[in-house]
């Protein structure tokens, strides 16, 4: 793991000034020192379960309804541990996931299979996010060139798939009659931001249109509507994800952000109710945890403690978690949340 951390720090030096690196590394060590042993044990058991359930031949997760999206999310969870494609206990699993997703890159730039996946933009967005984080660590020149080509074409596909309102739907604007909705929009924005951080050109007008889409979906209570066609009904999950997307887009100071933060804190900060009170609990907290993490330790630490304790209590003896969408989805979401303090992936750093 020492070599892994060295690689992570070297990548960090490419995007952060040299003067800032010691403070960032010290902050990581401070966070890691405070992790409860039962959280660490849960993380290890969960990561081992993810590695154990991957297809050894194809590299995807066979139990997933949406193999592209689930493979990317599982890969992100493994990357959050500090492993890369060449270093760490999950290196071979990450390599298999990369190989699988690269094999799903189509000539038009889509990563996925529109013939078998009727919500292929999710997989495309998560795949961009995962592969962009891998690119920052990849040292093999041939594989770097391949990843750059895949990601450049993926960015081009996302730009062309954007609706006239500035969002994205479950499929491209052309395939979906220009329909858009919040959750897929956020997936695209975060994937595009990951690509941009990795040095892949992303048209600024695409990101600006996406930001405007989020603003236009904002309601007077500070919440975000499900879609630009269905305004007025605020959704906690979409609002949390929208905030995370705005932060990824570098928008920390918009006049809309304070209202959205207030709405989320009212509905989500106390780790409310769970799946019985609103849908997609794990999706919601996957994004809201990123938002609170970026607020600093005063907000993050008490929230983290409550969130992590709840997650750990729900883990099965096998190391996984169960819930909506499927085991690999819920397990990957929980592992990403549990590893935010490790700070290895640039997309999740403060």
- For the residues 152-180, what does the mean pLDDT come to? 96
State the helix-helix crossing angle for 236-248 and 204-216, rounded to 10 degrees: 150
pLDDT (0 to 100) of residue 13: 35
Q: Which structure tokens are listed for 19?
A: 């003067």
Confidence band, pLDDT 50/70/90 cuts, at residue 196: very high
Confidence band, pLDDT 50/70/90 cuts, at residue 34: low
DSSP summary character for residue 340: G
Per-residue pLDDT reduced to its tens digit, 238-266: 999 999 989 888 787 788 999 999 999 99
pLDDT value at 229 more than 50:
yes
User: Distance between CA atoms of 288 and 304, rounded to whole angstroms?
Assistant: 11
pLDDT (0 to 100) of residue 272: 61
Contacts of 177 (CB under 8 A, 6+ apart): none
User: Distance between CA atoms of 41 and 63, rounded to whole angstroms?
Assistant: 24
Contact predicate 175/182, CB 8 Å:
no
pLDDT (0 to 100) of residue 121: 97
Q: CATH no. for residue 63?
A: 1.50.10.20
Contact predicate 302/14, CB 8 Å:
no
User: Distance between CA atoms of 75 and 88, rounded to whole angstroms?
Assistant: 13
What is the domain count for the chain? 1
The full DSSP string for 6-72 is HHHHHHHHTTS-GGGHHHHHHHHHHHHHT--HHHHHHHHHHHHHHHHTS-TTT-S-TT-SSHHHHHH
User: Distance between CA atoms of 82 and 91, rounded to whole angstroms?
Assistant: 10
State the helix-helix crossing angle for 182-197 and 236-248, rounded to 10 degrees: 20
User: Distance between CA atoms of 93 and 209, rounded to whole angstroms?
Assistant: 36
pLDDT value at 194 more than 80:
yes
User: Distance between CA atoms of 41 and 51, rounded to whole angstroms?
Assistant: 15
Q: State whether the Cα torsion 197-55-69-318 is positive or negative.
A: negative
pLDDT (0 to 100) of residue 259: 94
Query: What pTM was estimated for this model as a whole?
Result: 0.89
pLDDT value at 274 more than 60:
no
Q: How many CA atoms lie within 13 A of 270 on its CB side?
A: 6
Contact predicate 163/177, CB 8 Å:
no
pLDDT (0 to 100) of residue 317: 98
Q: In terms of residue numbers, what domain contains 182? A: 2-348
Confidence band, pLDDT 50/70/90 cuts, at residue 68: very high
Which of 64-68, 126-130, 160-164, 264-268 has the least mean pLDDT?
Answer: 64-68
pLDDT (0 to 100) of residue 159: 98
Q: Which structure tokens are listed for 181?
A: 């909705």
What percent of the chain is predicted at pLDDT more than 70?
87
Per-residue pLDDT reduced to its tens digit, 97-148: 999 999 999 999 999 999 989 899 999 999 999 999 999 888 889 999 999 9
235: enclosing H helix or E strand: strand 234-235
Per-residue pLDDT reduced to its tens digit, 40-59: 999 999 999 999 999 999 99
Q: Which structure tokens are listed for 291?
A: 């938002």
User: Distance between CA atoms of 196 and 50, rounded to whole angstroms?
Assistant: 28
pLDDT value at 16 more than 50:
no
pLDDT (0 to 100) of residue 273: 54
pLDDT value at 24 more than 90:
no
């Amino acid at each position: 793991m020492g070599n892994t951390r060295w690689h992570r720090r070297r990548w960090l030096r490419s995007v952060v000034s040299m003067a800032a690196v010691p403070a960032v590394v010290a902050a990581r060590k401070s966070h890691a020192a405070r992790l409860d042993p039962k959280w660490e044990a849960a993380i290890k058991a969960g990561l081992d379960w993810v590695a154990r359930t991957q297809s050894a031949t194809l590299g995807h997760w066979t139990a997933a309804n949406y193999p592209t999206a689930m493979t990317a999310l599982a890969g992100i969870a493994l990357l959050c541990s500090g492993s890369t494609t060449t270093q760490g206990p999950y290196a071979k699993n990450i390599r298999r996931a990369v190989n699988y997703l690269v094999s799903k890159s189509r000539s038009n730039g889509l990563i996925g299979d529109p013939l078998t996946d009727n919500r292929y933009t999710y997989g495309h967005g998560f795949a961009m996010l995962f592969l962009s984080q891998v690119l920052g660590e990849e040292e093999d020149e041939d594989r770097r060139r391949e990843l750059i080509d895949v990601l450049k074409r993926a960015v081009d596909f996302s730009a062309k798939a954007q609706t006239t309102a500035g969002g994205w739907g479950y499929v491209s604007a052309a395939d979906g009659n220009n329909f858009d909705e919040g959750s897929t929009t956020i997936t695209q924005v975060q994937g595009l931001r990951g690509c941009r951080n990795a040095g892949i050109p992303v048209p600024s007008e695409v990101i600006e249109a996406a930001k405007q889409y989020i603003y236009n979906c904002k309601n007077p209570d500070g919440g975000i509507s499900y879609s630009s066609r269905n305004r007025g009904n605020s959704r906690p999950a979409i609002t949390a994800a929208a905030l995370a997307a705005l932060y990824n887009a570098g928008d920390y100071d918009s006049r809309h952000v304070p209202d959205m933060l207030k709405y989320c804190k009212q509905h989500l900060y106390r780790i409310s109710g769970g799946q019985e009170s609103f849908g997609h609990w794990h999706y919601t907290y996957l994004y809201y945890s990123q938002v609170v993490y970026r607020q600093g330790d005063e907000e993050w630490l008490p929230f983290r403690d409550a969130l992590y304790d709840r997650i750990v209590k729900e883990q099965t003896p096998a190391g996984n978690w169960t819930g909506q969408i499927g085991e690999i989805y819920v397990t990957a979401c929980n592992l990403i949340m549990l590893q935010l303090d490790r700070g290895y992936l640039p997309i999740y750093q403060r």
